């Protein structure tokens, strides 16, 4: 079962986001209209938007800078999250004269400026950022998110009615196995297939995950927890029902309701992920361990910066063998 992960720390490399060595300062008041700010792009679907919002929140949490969101992001996330409290980029207090920048570039810029300001004894949020920025892409920094996992779970908290629907769906799925939530260690599983085939081939030279990876991940948990039961959510339920069979495996969720599927993932005691932001976010917002797929192709390197006792690479190759079989309970 999940424990306290506050001690998890990311690796510090050129491509990673190190935790600032200086303590967080009281954030610049959001209503301080004279201070520069950061606004975030709101493109993509639910997983992208939630990760964008969280990434922006982390900048404020770690560096104290002012931030704002677009009205579109507020409207989309306000429908599913219990508290979307970052302000909208109202031109009366948030300038639209912003410089386009990537999230990692701005993060490293703030990190270096913070170090220098600390050495001079004058570190304040205003001393490390002199102009306003627009982050124009879809950041989802796995190292920072897992290093601040408890914060992420508070910030991206689903509304009560969303969680109630998810719990009901899980109970309905487990009933097909003649089980209840109290009987099992619940492993939620995400299988992304239909809309990702071309993308992962183009960008990572990867094929879709097949039955082998999920079987390896099922066995990983079967050896480590008491009475595992696997509830699968997917955009290809037919493939899952045909391929991922077992006395402890059942397909739940909804083919058309991404919010429900993501909420189900967050309620697992542990999680099995596939590729993509949606899958990672569902696991990060849960409270237990998570697996992610690895193979000889290292182009998909989103976890290279993460050092966590809660993260477990599982091979998508048939000859997989995991030597450590210690309990996760």
Give tens-digit pLDDT for 112-159: 999 999 888 888 888 899 999 999 999 999 999 999 999 999 999 999
Total of domains in the chain: 2
184 and 289 assigned to the same domain: yes
- Using one digit for the tens of pLDDT, what is the confidence trace for 30-65? 999 999 999 999 988 999 999 999 999 999 999 999
**pLDDT recorded at residue 274:** 94
Contact indicator for 186, 225 with CB cutoff of 8 Å? no
**pLDDT recorded at residue 111:** 94
106 and 168 assigned to the same domain: no
Distance CA 290, CA 271 (A): 5
Q: Residue 282's domain is classified under what CATH number? A: 3.40.50
Distance CA 38, CA 100 (A): 10
Distance CA 161, CA 158 (A): 8
Q: Which of 240, 313, 307, 303 is nearest to 272 (CA)?
A: 313
Q: What is the three-class DSSP state of 271?
A: strand
H/E run at residue 174: helix 160-175
Over 60: is that where the pLDDT of 240 sits?
A: yes
Mean pLDDT of the chain: 89
Distances (CA, A) of 91 to 45, 68, 69, 149, 269: 26, 11, 12, 32, 43
Rounded to 5°, the CA angle 179-181-184 comes to: 70
Distance CA 196, CA 208 (A): 8
126 and 195 assigned to the same domain: no
Contact indicator for 279, 302 with CB cutoff of 8 Å? no
Question: pLDDT category, 325, cuts 50, 70, 90?
Answer: low
141 and 170 assigned to the same domain: no
Structural domain includes residue 55: yes
The pTM of this model reads 0.90
Over 50: is that where the pLDDT of 92 sits?
A: yes
Q: Which of 75, 68, 127, 73 is nearest to 96 (CA)?
A: 68
Distance CA 187, CA 224 (A): 12
């Amino acid at each position: 079962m999940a424990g306290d992960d506050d001690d998890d720390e990311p690796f510090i490399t050129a491509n990673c986001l190190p935790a600032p060595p200086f303590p967080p300062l009281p954030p610049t008041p959001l209503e301080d209209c004279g201070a520069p700010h950061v606004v975030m792009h709101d493109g993509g679907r639910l997983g992208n938007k939630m990760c964008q919002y969280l990434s922006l929140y982390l900048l404020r949490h770690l560096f104290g800078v002012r931030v704002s969101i677009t009205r579109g992001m507020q409207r989309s996330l306000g429908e599913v999250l219990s508290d979307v409290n970052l302000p909208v980029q109202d031109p009366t207090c948030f300038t639209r004269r912003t410089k386009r920048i990537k999230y990692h570039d701005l993060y490293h810029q703030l990190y270096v400026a913070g170090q220098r300001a600390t050495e001079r004894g004058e570190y304040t949020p205003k001393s490390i950022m002199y102009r306003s920025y627009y982050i124009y892409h879809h950041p989802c920094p796995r190292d920072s998110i897992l290093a601040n996992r408890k914060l992420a779970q508070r910030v991206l908290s689903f509304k009560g009615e969303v969680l109630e629907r998810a719990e009901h769906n899980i109970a309905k799925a487990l009933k097909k196995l003649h089980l209840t939530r109290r009987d099992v260690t619940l492993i939620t599983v995400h299988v992304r297939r239909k809309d990702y085939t071309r993308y992962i081939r183009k960008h990572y030279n990867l094929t879709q995950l097949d039955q082998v990876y999920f079987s390896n991940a099922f066995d990983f948990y079967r050896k480590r927890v008491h009475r595992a039961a696997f509830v699968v959510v997917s955009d290809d339920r037919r493939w899952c029902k045909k391929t991922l069979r077992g006395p402890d495996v059942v397909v739940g969720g909804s083919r058309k309701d991404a919010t429900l599927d993501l909420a189900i993932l967050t309620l697992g005691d542990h999680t099995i992920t596939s590729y993509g932001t949606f899958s990672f976010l569902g696991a990060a917002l849960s409270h237990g361990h998570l697996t992610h797929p690895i193979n000889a192709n290292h182009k998909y390197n989103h976890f290279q910066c993460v050092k966590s006792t809660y993260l477990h690479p599982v091979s998508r190759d048939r000859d997989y063998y995991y030597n450590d079989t210690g309990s996760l309970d």
